[in-house]
């Protein structure tokens, strides 16, 4: 195959913040699917729009924490216990389940590093949270786009995310982590990725804030409970690297149960297509 072409009206493209979308995927049907997903519609090849879902910008649900550079300007990693827990690194072989534990402590800097400003602990630590969203990702080896840590943490390569609502519960955190690791969630994240080098991509704060995600506020109590139960079933199970998502039983269960909970048709075909995307598997179509 030489390539595929897709046309988008200039008036629509000009007003988009996700300008990468028209060329985000090598398979034009994935581009079409994401085009509709961003509007809260499920589009499947050969069927067209088959369902709807309530989405909202990520920033409507909560706020992202500091980036890794700011963490380094306020702390240094420590093996000895302190009051500040961290989730350090993104190891492709060990960080493969939705549920994670803090793996490092942070020690507050007494003075600024050469050539850098000193970040105050009182400005950084209140942004610690249990939900983490990948800042950078190697698509051909890593498995997680988001995780939930047992205690609030800061990280050097993950964005902490804290819900705005005081009444937000663990169920909201679990539902968001499931969604970001589902096929629709991953597709929309990849449409807003920052290109760096091949399968190595980044998700910067300006791209994540407007990212459409499942609107937890629109879910019924029963729907939220179903997603919470789903998280509890799969949280400690290992997800396969993204290029193997089409044979990943855990990821398939996440997609299947999300479809049932939202009362939309099965969308496993999108997962199969995404697994063979060149940016994901580093192989031509």
Domains in the chain, CATH or no CATH each? 56-263 (3.90.220)
The pLDDT of residue 138 is above 90: yes
Q: Using an 8 Å Cβ cutoff, are 51 and 42 in contact?
A: yes
Per residue in 181-232, pLDDT tens? 999 999 999 999 988 777 899 999 999 999 999 999 999 999 999 999 999 9
Distance separating alpha carbons of residues 13 and 35, to the nearest angstrom: 11
Which residues in 111-144 are b (16+ Cβ under 10 Å) and which e? eeeeeeeebebeebbebbbbbbbbbbbbbbebbb
Two tokens, residue 32? 């079409």
Q: How far is CA 270 from CA 77, 206, 278, in A?
A: 40, 26, 15
User: What is the helix (H) or strand (E) element at residue 257, kind and residue range?
Assistant: helix 249-262
Using a CB cutoff of 8 Å and minimum separation of 24, what contacts does 39-42 make? 40/212, 42/184, 42/264, 42/265, 42/267
The SS3 call for residue 222 is helix
Q: Calculate the CA 50 to chain-centre distance.
A: 24
Q: How far is CA 62 from CA 69, 161, 168, 186, 205, in A?
A: 21, 7, 10, 19, 13
- Predicted TM-score of the model (pTM): 0.94
pLDDT > 70: percent of the chain? 98
Q: Which residues pair with 131 in a beta bridge?
A: 148, 161
Per residue in 2-11, pLDDT tens? 677 778 878 7
What pLDDT does residue 5 have? 79
Determine the average pLDDT of the residues in 262-280: 97
């Amino acid at each position: 195959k030489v390539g595929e072409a897709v046309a988008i009206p200039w008036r629509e493209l000009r007003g988009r913040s996700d300008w990468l979308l028209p060329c985000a995927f090598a398979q034009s049907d994935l581009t079409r699917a994401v085009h509709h997903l961003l509007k809260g519609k499920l589009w499947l090849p050969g069927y067209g729009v088959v369902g709807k879902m309530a989405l909202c910008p990520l920033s409507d649900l909560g706020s992202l924490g500091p980036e890794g550079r700011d963490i380094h300007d306020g702390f240094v990693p420590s093996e000895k216990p302190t009051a500040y827990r961290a989730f350090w690194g993104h190891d492709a072989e060990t960080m493969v389940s939705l549920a994670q534990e803090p793996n490092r402590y942070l020690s507050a800097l007494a003075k600024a590093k050469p050539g850098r400003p000193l970040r105050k602990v009182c400005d950084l630590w209140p942004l610690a949270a249990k939900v983490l969203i990948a800042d950078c990702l190697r698509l051909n080896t890593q498995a997680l786009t988001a995780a939930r840590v047992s205690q609030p943490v800061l990280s050097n390569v993950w964005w902490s995310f804290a819900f705005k609502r005081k009444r937000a519960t663990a169920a909201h955190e679990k539902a968001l982590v499931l969604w970001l690791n589902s096929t629709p969630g991953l597709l929309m994240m990849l449409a807003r990725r920052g290109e760096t080098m091949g399968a190595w991509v980044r998700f910067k704060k300006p791209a994540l804030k407007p990212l459409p995600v499942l609107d937890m506020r629109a879910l019924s109590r029963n729907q939220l409970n179903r997603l919470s139960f789903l998280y509890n079933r799969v949280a400690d199970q290992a997800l396969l690297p993204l290029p193997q998502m089409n044979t990943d039983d855990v990821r398939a269960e996440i997609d299947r149960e999300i479809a049932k909970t939202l009362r939309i048709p099965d969308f496993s075909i999108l997962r199969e297509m995404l697994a063979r995307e060149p940016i994901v598997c580093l192989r031509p179509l």
